[in-house]
Amino acid sequence: MPEEQVSRAAETLSKHILIVEDEPAIRDMVRDALERVGFVTSVADDATSGYAAVRDHRPDLVLLDWMLPGVSGLELARRLRREEQTRSLPIILLTARAEEEDRIKGFEVGADDYVGKPFSVRELLARIRAVLRRTAKVGDDEPIEVDGLRLDPVSHRVTANGQPVRMGPIEFRMLHFFMSHPERVFTRSQLLDSVWGSQVYVEERTVDVHIRRVRKALTPESFDRFIQTVHGTGYRFSREA
Ligand code: CA
């Protein structure tokens, strides 16, 4: 994997956008635009793989094309709204349809917003940011605690069963990112995008080095078990064995 340049705005830090779109030109254009401003992305080209990607990656927002081959984007939106785990997942519908009736139908299935094709990248980014702001969870600075492992984003302290844990700034950011996104699998590339900050050139195997350091720091109280290798994919933070 080549080194890559990652630039970001603070606002987009760690946000993961799933793009479900069957037209490759639009999909690639949107993905490139989102990654350029620092979003982490994944893509799917139909509703079935889109649904699987929601389950596997737990995105923060879904850009969902209305007209997909097979199951429509509208059907997928309906399904995501029905299910407990994805009920509040922000959805922006992308569509060539512009009639008022279709727009209403989009909101009826619970889409948070609606962007008509053709759209400008700038407009799309503005809509995404607006929806993310509207749906943002409060308390991003709140301490996170999982079974005795506690991370305080304000004081930058980590304790394990009350014992202080020493780690470097990258390990701290990595652990913070993992603890903020439990049970999700991240590729090395996604971890690079989310943890390393702006304008850096880092190789993917560097991720493994820092994963080892995080685990080592957590080993005395056995919390290294939370940082799990998902073979062939990447890593996840999970309290489940
Ligand atoms: Ca389409």
Expressed in angstroms and rounded, the spacing between residue 209 Cα and the centre of ligand 1 is 41
* Cα distance between residue 240 and residue 133, in whole Å: 31
Expressed in angstroms and rounded, the spacing between residue 42 Cα and the centre of ligand 1 is 17
Expressed in angstroms and rounded, the spacing between residue 1 Cα and the centre of ligand 1 is 30
Which domains, and CATH codes, for the chain? 3-136 (3.40.50.2300), 144-237 (1.10.10.10)
Expressed in angstroms and rounded, the spacing between residue 132 Cα and the centre of ligand 1 is 24
Q: What is the pLDDT of residues 157-178, one digit of tens each?
A: 999 999 999 998 889 989 999 9
Q: Give the single-character DSSP code of 38.
A: T
Expressed in angstroms and rounded, the spacing between residue 82 Cα and the centre of ligand 1 is 23
* Cα distance between residue 65 and residue 62, in whole Å: 10
* Cα distance between residue 117 and residue 29, in whole Å: 13
Answer yes or no: is pLDDT of 8 > 50. no
Expressed in angstroms and rounded, the spacing between residue 89 Cα and the centre of ligand 1 is 21
* Cα distance between residue 222 and residue 207, in whole Å: 21
Neighbours of 100 (CB within 10 A): 7
Expressed in angstroms and rounded, the spacing between residue 46 Cα and the centre of ligand 1 is 9
Average pLDDT over residues 201-221: 92
Average pLDDT over residues 220-229: 97
Expressed in angstroms and rounded, the spacing between residue 100 Cα and the centre of ligand 1 is 19
Expressed in angstroms and rounded, the spacing between residue 22 Cα and the centre of ligand 1 is 5
Q: What is the pLDDT of residues 118-140, one digit of tens each?
A: 899 999 999 999 888 877 655 56
Answer yes or no: is pLDDT of 9 > 50. no
Expressed in angstroms and rounded, the spacing between residue 20 Cα and the centre of ligand 1 is 9
Q: What is the pLDDT of residue 198?
A: 45
Q: What are the strands, taking DSSP E only, across 66-105? A: 91-95
pTM of the predicted model, to two decimals?
A: 0.57
- DSSP per-residue codes, 108-153: HTT-SEEEESS--HHHHHHHHHHHHHHHPPS-TTS-EEETTEEEET
Expressed in angstroms and rounded, the spacing between residue 135 Cα and the centre of ligand 1 is 26
Of these ranges, 91-95, 138-142, 213-217, 237-241, the one predicted with the greatest mean pLDDT is: 213-217
Expressed in angstroms and rounded, the spacing between residue 115 Cα and the centre of ligand 1 is 13
Q: What is the pLDDT of residue 197?
A: 57
Taking a C-beta distance cutoff of 8 angstroms, is the pair 167, 175 a contact?
A: yes
Better-scored residue on pLDDT, 81 or 103: 81
Expressed in angstroms and rounded, the spacing between residue 79 Cα and the centre of ligand 1 is 18
Expressed in angstroms and rounded, the spacing between residue 68 Cα and the centre of ligand 1 is 5
